[in-house]
Every structure is written in structure tokens, then in C-alpha cells.
Amino acid sequence: MNWFILSMITVFFWSGSDFFSKLGSPARDSYSHWKMVIAVGLVMGLHAAYMLIFGGESVTPRDFIVYLPATFCYILSMIIGYAGLRYIELSISSPVCNSSGAVTAVLCAIFLGQRMLGYQLIGVVLITAGIIALQGVDMSLDDERKRSDPKYVRSAKAIIYPLLYCAIDGIGTFADAWLLDGHIEEGPANIAYELTFLGMAVFAVIYLKAIKKQKLYNGPTELRRLELPKLLAAVSETAGQFAYIYALSSNAILSAPLISAYCVLSMVWSRIFLKERLTRGQYAAIGAAVAGIILLGFGDA
């Protein structure tokens, strides 16, 4: 399948993962990120089992070792991102996190020798500029608005989470592109990642139950209200990951910044369903990112 179509499938599902993860990450639950790890690990483990039993895939201990650099960065960045959702709106967290695509594109150009055509470079610049602008526009909101709405009062602790995610995920995506370029096949890489995430889910259960003495949920009401969004986020994350790894192996230098634009859809969902307000500047930044996506899509066609 074409790298652009695979990238857009990833954009759709990962924006859904963003949205449902935010719904399942209440500020009062200091362990919500570990509960997200449990949900994602469970779904990924089930998908890996299906692919091993019915999908004709296989995985070896070597695959786990070879893919470990990418796996480590991905899982660490996701845990940090889930933790940060308790402190900051989705419409801010997602654009900052997804500046990582620009980091990956630069690393691929420098170390892997991948190059872009003129129109592709313009598309990537538009997407990257839109993502960065989404962050800058919001952080420039006037002090009066921040004081009048506690939701917009942020601390250094709030913004450090998405910034860390951006750096670690960008390095992980570069490692992924490098490893998929002759060191490991897409199928075994994805299964190794999913089974490692399942292992992290087991660790999270032990950590919460045996060490922290925490309940995974408080009664059936919380189970329905918080755990269902986590499971939907996990399904979306797994579906997006499956398409993502094939898009990245096909054309890393373009798919990485394009997939980063899933924050645009995340902002749309946050505006419609979470009632997070968008400014004219944010709409303009979204428009720039969409223009870059269209340019990449039609240009490649």
C-alpha cells in the first residue's frame, strides 16, 4: 500500500488515541499513565498473538534485541505523554509532542542520506511550521484569559512532559527508520514492540497492585467512564502502529513529519468533544499543516 495512504491511516487512528487517552487521564488520578500502559499493552499483546497464530508472522529473541532502541524510546515517550495529559490540554500537548516528526526528518537527512524533492520539502516545512505555530500561538494567550480560566494556567511541569515526548519520540522514530532499513523486517519489529509493551503492562499491574497498593478502578461507574476510553485509546494506538511501521519503512523522511500532523485532527476532536477553545491563529496553523498534507499527497500521486 502507498506510504501516503498508510500515513493517513496512522494519522486518523493516532488522533483517536490522543482523544481517548485524554478522556481516560483525569487530573486527580496520579496513576492514570500506568493504567494507560496496562490497556495499551493488553490490546497490543492480543494483536501480536493474533498475528503470530493467524497472520503467519514470527519473531525471534534477536528481533527483540535488534528493535530494542526504538522500542525503548517509543514506550518511554508514551508513558511520559500519558502522564502529561493530566496537566495540560490535548490541544497543546499534541502539537508540542508531534514536533518530533521534524526531528526525525532532520536526523534521516543527516545520517541516512534520505532526500526530498522541492515540493516535498515545501510540504514538510508547511506541516512542521503549522505544528510549531500551534504551540506558539497558544502559549502567547493573554494573561487575563489564563487567569479567568484555570484550565489555561500551566506550570513548567506541565509543558516539560510534551517537550520530553517530542525529543525521545523523534530519536525513537529515527532509530526505527534506521533499523527497518535492512536490519529487521516490519512484521517481526511490530510484534517485538507489541510484546514488549505487553511486558510493560504486566510490570504496571505488579507496580500498582503489589507496590503501590492501588485499585485499578473504583467501582463499576469509574470502570465504564475511564477504562472504556483507555481501551478505545489502546485499540486506536495499536491500529495506528500497525499502519505506521509500514509507512515508515517505505518513506521515513516524508511519512514521519506527515504522521506528526495527526495533532491537527487531535485538535479538531478536542474542539468538538472536549470544548477546548481555538483561536484564529490556531486555525491558521491548522490550515498550514493541512496544506502541507495535501501537497505531499497530490505530489506523490
The tens digit of pLDDT for each residue in 179-190 reads: 998 899 999 999
Buried residues in 100-124 as b, exposed as e (16+ CB within 10 A): bbbbbbbbbeeeeebebeeebebbb
Q: Which of 37, 13, 56, 52 lies closest to 191, judged by CA?
A: 52
Structure letter (DSSP) for residue 209: I
The residue type at 278:
L
Give pLDDT tens digits for 215-270: 776 656 655 665 788 989 999 999 999 999 999 888 887 887 788 778 778 878 88
State residue 220's pLDDT score: 60
How many CB atoms sit inside 10 A of residue 215's CB? 10
Read off the pTM: 0.80
